[in-house]
Amino acid sequence: MVAAIAGSLSAYRAWAAPAAPTVAGRTVADVVALATRPHADPRSGAFHLTTHLGLPDIGSTAPGGGSATSNIGLAAGQNRARVWSDGPTRSRIALLQPLAETDWVRNGASTWVWRSVGSRATKVAAPTVQSPGIIGALTAGTSVQPPDELASHVLALRDARTKLALLAPTRVAGRPAYQLDLTPGVKGSLVSHVVVAVDSGTGLPLRVAVYAQGVGGPVIDDAFTDISFGRPNPANFSFTPPKTAEALDVSTPALMQQAIDARRRRFEAEGFQGRGGGPGPNQLVGGGSSLDGAAGGTAGAGIGPVGVIGSGWTQVFSTTDVRAWQLRDLASKGTVVHGAFGDGQLVRTPLVSLLVLADGRVAVGAVTPAVLEKAMSR
Report pLDDT digits (tens) over 142-169: 668 899 999 999 999 999 999 999 999 9
Query: Last residue of a domain, which of 215, 234, 253?
Result: 234
Q: Are residues 139 and 43 in the same domain?
A: yes
Q: How many distinct structural domains can be found in the chain?
A: 2
Give domain status of residue 18, yes or no.
Answer: no
For residue 201, give the CATH number of its domain: 2.50.20.10
Give domain status of residue 203, yes or no.
Answer: yes
Q: Are residues 49 and 176 in the same domain?
A: yes
Query: Last residue of a domain, which of 204, 234, 264?
Result: 234
pLDDT for 128 equals 57
Is residue 120 predicted with pLDDT exceeding 70?
Answer: yes
Give domain status of residue 99, yes or no.
Answer: yes
Distances (CA, A) of 88 to 38, 43, 108, 168: 9, 12, 9, 31
Amino acid identity for residue 138 in this structure? L
For residue 363, give the CATH number of its domain: 3.30.310
Give domain status of residue 6, yes or no.
Answer: no
pLDDT tens sequence across 51-72: 887 765 544 333 333 333 334 4
pLDDT, the chain, mean: 79
pLDDT for 292 equals 37
Give domain status of residue 336, yes or no.
Answer: yes
Average pLDDT on 29-38 reads: 96
Domain that holds residue 41: 28-234
Query: Last residue of a domain, which of 190, 206, 234?
Result: 234
Give domain status of residue 3, yes or no.
Answer: no
Average pLDDT on 341-362 reads: 88
Q: Are residues 68 and 168 in the same domain?
A: yes
Q: Are residues 92 and 208 in the same domain?
A: yes
